[in-house]
Structure 1
Amino acid sequence: MISRQIAGELTATAAEFPVVTIIGPRQAGKTTLARMHFPGHAYANLEAPDARQLAMSDPHAFFSQFPPPVIVDEIQRVPELLSVIQVLADSSRERGQFILTGSHQLRLQEAVSQSLAGRTALLRLLPLSISELETAGIRCTRDEYIHQGFMPRLYDENVDPTRLYRSYCQTYIERDIRQMINIRRLTDFEHFMRLLAGRVGQVLNLHALAGDLGVSSTTLKEWLSVLEASHAVFRLNPYFENFGKRIIKSPKIYFTDVGLASYLLGIESPEQAARDPLIGNLFENMVVIEALKNRLNAGKEPELYFYRDNRGDEVDLLFRRNRQLVPIEIKSAMTFNMEFVKGISRFRKIASNARKGYVVYAGDLTPDLPDARVVRFTEVDTIFKDSAS
């Protein structure tokens, strides 16, 4: 079993709060993480009909059968249980008594904010990171990572990526989506996901997508919020503080697992990934999400943005720390080119609070230049270690 970097944060929060809530996409490893770290806790899965029915009909009987300390899986299925957890947590001074997991961010966060405000720590777990895999002795090429993604089952059980993501999409769309919103034609939602996969790393234009799909942009906003709420995609917002009206203010969208994006694009092998016209976009997706994982695994807010203005100046990723900005350019090429640094150099002239940046690419040469340090894509975590100093 591959060790997770968020484990230290889980241990720390369980020692400080009576309740710890772990949210994230399906199959990211939330249950495995909780059960490995708290082997002495009782365990209840609210996906199981009998456990869910008992929790809904008689919460006190439920906690008699599954007394704290307890792990409650998929808590969003019975949000009414949270008010009972509040009472039980308040009646005891014990920490780490309730470990909750959930896959639907909006529904769960609304319920948590009402019932468990100040009583729970909230951790967000995404699929495996490159750093976690390399620590476990697993090393893949750029194209292998892009094709297969980072779901734990791929590495723990050697599951075929295409079969895994096909099953994932069927489960996600046919069950989870139906629970969250009323969609008359699920094929339209599937088509929307495929169109989004073809636009990762691009500034989002819902009006154009609405025209392609024949669905209103208002409906697409709702669908996008569902994808975000279930942690399937991540919205990267532009940074426009102090730059005036010339800045692009629409977000970019990335899939929280690049393997899902590749599946939606019909990529069935690493060789096909290497030849795909969107290899640069998919590589950017992978690196942006690696940065996001690094922040979330440390229990931090992402503080990640991008910069683009109407003159075409752009920085793929900005990391804000202590009012300073770290510009990061992302290139899928395996050969370094000084052109990679130009966007960072221009941005440092525009932004007085911009620090020396980074170029993340797929090659081996890693020079240290005046405006940027060059790192391999497998070393994204070093950016945040350096920025902490």
Structure 2
Amino acid sequence: MELIARHVRPEIEAALEWSRVVMIHGARQTGKTTLAREIAETRGGTYVSLDDDEQREGVLLDPVAFLSSQSYPLAIDEVQLGGNRVIVAVKRLVDEDRTPGRFILTGSTNFLTVPGISESLAGRVRIFRLWPLSQAELAGIAPTEIDNWFEGDPRPAPASDLSREDYFARACRGGYPEVVGLDPNQRQGWFDDYVETVVQRDIIALADVRRAASLPRLLRWAAAFTSSEINQTGAAKELGVDRSVIASYLEWLQTVFLLHELPAWSRNLSSRTTSRPKVHLTDAGLAASLLEVDAGALASPTAPASGALLETFAVNEIARQLAASSRKRVLYHWRNHQDRNYRGREIDLVIEARNGDVVAVEIKATSSPSRQHTDHLRWLRDKLDATTPGAFRAGILLHTGPYTLSAGDRLHLRPINCLWAG
């Protein structure tokens, strides 16, 4: 497939002007190598891959001597495979010479959470997450819709020409660059091999995993519960392992970026740590493959997995766009567990800006949305208006129908493709 421009690239280029080290991490096969190599070579630098056994051995013989003999910026691919030895060498070199833009590191694991790496490069590194391709990147469009939401002025988009099945086709395809051009049968084989590679090469190579066969099973279980709060006790019972094993393995699936969590949101900051997070698979295509479902089956109104997969698809699109933005906004979910007057109320996505402004998003698989679908958004609007006037910027119901509609004060119904329609 032809090279697709990544929206995060300008942010990375800008960071190289002031930060000594830039880290690009994310799941395998998201395009980190291509992006890092391009940026380094454009700036007259060099590239080395620690995924290559010979290159890795050469670096590890004397990391400081090897790294200091290269032209900069030096892109070091899969840096976690060099362990603490390579990271400490990078730290030494950038402390001796504080010139910005010296190293571009990539990693298929979150090196901040890998047990064998104790050095975080704090104060020296700017970290970016590269997700699979967003729908906006595939469309070649610079997205602005989320900014419009925060400005309180979601733009009226033209009627969508995508059907319900079209949305599920996009969800099942996912965003891994290698997958985009494959047919469904080829895609299934690619995902099968992908899961095996990540488990064998990343998790087992770095972790003390004694029941490796449980990892793919846990990932499939997580796919069945994507967009839900994970019950670790239930998972342990279902898979026949200890709860502590489930907790450890879920952390590793996040470390290699196959899962990501949405913390629970509340204006009471302390409560964010007391409610369970929602878990999403990082790519809806991977989730669909693990569940062995296709767009045709999901398009049926009675398909049990359709709502959860569509929610993961839309949440991931928003997360991918925010990861490439210079504006700091954090994703949460909200669900009331305690107050019996509000029990059962939940909102799929709460996006919060640094200044406390909030946009609330509901995602529905329906192609015929109604005002009733915005009841929880309306409740949150009124609650925040009473306690923090001006904080609630917009409530958005994303749906699979064609129309853009208003549902009252700051409440809007939008087709999902408003996120990339331009």
- Same fold per TM (> 0.5)? yes
Question: TM-score normalized by structure 1?
Answer: 0.90
Post-superposition offset of 1:31? 0.9
CA distance in 2, matches of 1:317, 1:13: 29
* Residue 200 of structure 2 corresponds to residue 174 of structure 1: yes
Corresponding residue for residue 171 of structure 2: 146
* Residue 159 of structure 2 corresponds to residue 124 of structure 1: no
* Superimposed CA distance per residue, residues 115-142 of structure 1 (whole angstroms, 9 cap, x where no aligned partner): 52211111111000111111179x9821
SS in 1 for 2:28: coil
More helix by share: 1
Corresponding residue for residue 344 of structure 2: 312
* Residue 266 of structure 2 corresponds to residue 240 of structure 1: yes
Question: RMSD of the TM alignment (CA)?
Answer: 2.7
* Residue 259 of structure 2 corresponds to residue 255 of structure 1: no
Post-superposition offset of 1:157? 7.2
CA distance in 1, matches of 2:99, 2:272: 53
Corresponding residue for residue 48 of structure 1: 52
* Residue 337 of structure 2 corresponds to residue 333 of structure 1: no
CA distance in 1, matches of 2:233, 2:117: 34
* Residue 229 of structure 2 corresponds to residue 203 of structure 1: yes
Corresponding residue for residue 10 of structure 1: 12
| Stretches of 4+ aligned residues off by more than 4 angstroms | 106-113, 156-159, 243-248, 299-302
CA distance in 2, matches of 1:129, 1:63: 34
Identity %: 29
Match of 2:297 among 272, 282, 287: 272
SS in 1 for 2:309: helix
Post-superposition offset of 1:110? 7.5
Post-superposition offset of 1:219? 1.1
CA distance in 2, matches of 1:240, 1:295: 20
Q: Which has the higher contact order (CA 8 A, sep 6+)?
A: 2
Deviates more, 1:322-331 or 1:53-62: 53-62
Q: Is the 8 A contact 2:141 2:420 kept in 1?
A: no
Post-superposition offset of 1:38? 2.6
* Superimposed CA distance per residue, residues 34-76 of structure 1 (whole angstroms, 9 cap, x where no aligned partner): 1222323211000111111112121134226644321110000
Post-superposition offset of 1:145? 1.3
CA distance in 1, matches of 2:277, 2:71: 44
Corresponding residue for residue 92 of structure 2: 87
CA distance in 2, matches of 1:60, 1:323: 44
Question: TM-score normalized by structure 2?
Answer: 0.83
Post-superposition offset of 1:95? 2.2
Post-superposition offset of 1:93? 4.3
Letter of the 2:416 counterpart: F
CA distance in 2, matches of 1:108, 1:207: 24
The verdict on how the C-alpha distance between 1:114 and 1:244 changes in structure 2, with shifts beyond 3 A counting, is: closer
Letter of the 2:9 counterpart: A
Letter of the 2:212 counterpart: L
The verdict on how the C-alpha distance between 1:260 and 1:245 changes in structure 2, with shifts beyond 3 A counting, is: closer
* Superimposed CA distance per residue, residues 130-183 of structure 1 (whole angstroms, 9 cap, x where no aligned partner): 11111179x982111121111011236779321221110110112212123233
Letter of the 1:212 counterpart: E
Give structure 1 stretches of 5+ with no counterpart: none
Match of 2:419 among 377, 380, 386: 380
SS in 2 for 1:78: helix
CA distance in 1, matches of 2:76, 2:280: 29
